[in-house]
Structure 1
């Protein structure tokens, strides 16, 4: 149901003309496909040896790199770092209609609340405030009907940013587990379903973010246990097991945020 809703929101946005508005990548300031490198995609990831559900995407850039607005809007608020871990210095842009984007861990903020920005306007400089490494973390949210950010309404920023088609993930059936080998970028997975023995269980990333932080970081979600592993550079493995393990997966179905089939493989 949430996957269908996400697809409906996306298609409705296009029909209203928002899809024709200029959209650029936040570092390259380019509307070309995959103009920026992504080091950590939306969804399950390993963070310093711990499982984490990432409600945004990360760009591996050195401190002081210009950070741009991805789309026109109004600066809803700017937040100065309090010296603790967390988002650090950050900027929230309201694009209208419940659509917002947030830019975290900045070393410098160059805009003020109330400013009007265009796609490509410099919001500040990247950094590591609130974090242990230099990078830009960006959130993209849809359906926010109140002031402030709301990560429970986070969507994959690739729903907006121009990108190539995602390569088909590798798949391996291993006992009661399914192991997917997935690229860091472009990574457009939205829902994964395991079927077997008359059972069917689905983990939908919209459902996971909706449970909120920190509950979204629980490894077992909607009857599936998720584990992240290392793969080749620029890729990672996602292992899914039924939990409780009362059936053996015989089929895996992967869909993207638009409801398009990414993978349908049987044992």
Structure 2
């Protein structure tokens, strides 16, 4: 799956009886735009701080007021349009099948605007944002590749920025501690896919795809493949990612971050 980096997708338009309607190949779910970074992300894919607890996020969140229009990011068929049962954490949600095992899911909605079996284009309003199954109004978007059979499967979720038009991730700031390295990461765009950590004769690598493949609740374990991860939110669109070698707890001497296109985002060594 290729990713638009330097320019937005070519715009197209269809004229309908309702007026001018957007017909993009791929659009952001709130802005209905193919522009780069069109929607502000409030919670990134991967390790995150969820109300003070560590959590491995299988999608991205958009903090928007309840009732905001939510749109399909790509054309497909509505596989599920589910009203909240009052218990499930997904709330009211929509699952769209884009074909070939590619699916997108839209969670915590307040209202549905589609039903099972509907064919939708990119930009079609599929519901309204809400807080069903959660505590605050927002949209959670999961993007999956290689889903086998029916339903959603977060074990094959990938960063939605692999599809949505986004800018290049800036190199994180690095702070070295006695037994850890702390990275100051941007919430948007956050495109890290793998982390390698070296120190004390040890070398450990963790890949986000491998973490997700573990499923719930194992993906939320803070120690994965010999690296212990900790996250703390900052107030300026950034978060603090702290990395330690575990269980040996040797002082890390080098950290390498690689994005989902295999490009090195950061390669830093202890001074």
TM-score, structure 2 normalization? 0.90
Secondary structure, in 3 states, of the residue corresponding to 1:130?
coil
Aligned alpha-carbon RMSD (Å) = 1.6
Say if 1:105 and 1:136, in contact at 8 Å, map to a contact too. yes
Q: 2:184 corresponds to which residue?
A: 181
Of stretches 200-209 and 76-85 in structure 1, the one that deviates more from structure 2 is: 76-85
Q: Deviations over 1:172-225 (max 9, x none)?
A: 111121101001101101111001233210111111100001111111111111
Displacement after TM superposition at 1:231 (Å) = 2.7
User: Are 1:114 and 2:117 matched, yes or no?
Assistant: yes
Q: Deviations over 1:37-65 (max 9, x none)?
A: 10000011111111110000000100110
Secondary structure, in 3 states, of the residue corresponding to 1:180?
strand
Of stretches 226-235 and 158-167 in structure 1, the one that deviates more from structure 2 is: 226-235
User: Are 1:145 and 2:148 matched, yes or no?
Assistant: yes
**Cα distance in structure 2, aligned partners of 1:63 and 1:123:** 14
Displacement after TM superposition at 1:249 (Å) = 1.2
Q: 1:45 corresponds to which residue?
A: 48
1:187-266 matches, within 5 Å, as 187-266=190-269
Displacement after TM superposition at 1:28 (Å) = 0.1
Say if 2:44 and 2:190, in contact at 8 Å, map to a contact too. yes
Displacement after TM superposition at 1:246 (Å) = 4.8
**Cα distance in structure 1, aligned partners of 2:181 and 2:261:** 23
Q: Deviations over 1:67-90 (max 9, x none)?
A: 000000000111110112501000
**Cα distance in structure 1, aligned partners of 2:56 and 2:250:** 25
Mind listing any 5+ residue stretches in structure 1 that lack a counterpart? 1-9
Secondary structure, in 3 states, of the residue corresponding to 2:164?
coil
> Size of the alignment, in residue pairs?
253
Mind listing any 5+ residue stretches in structure 2 that lack a counterpart? 11-23
User: Are 1:55 and 2:58 matched, yes or no?
Assistant: yes
**Cα distance in structure 1, aligned partners of 2:215 and 2:85:** 23
Say if 1:176 and 1:245, in contact at 8 Å, map to a contact too. no
**Cα distance in structure 2, aligned partners of 1:146 and 1:179:** 40
98, 123, 126: which one pairs with 1:123?
Answer: 126
TM-score, structure 1 normalization? 0.91
Say if 1:66 and 1:126, in contact at 8 Å, map to a contact too. yes
Secondary structure, in 3 states, of the residue corresponding to 1:33?
coil
Displacement after TM superposition at 1:145 (Å) = 1.6
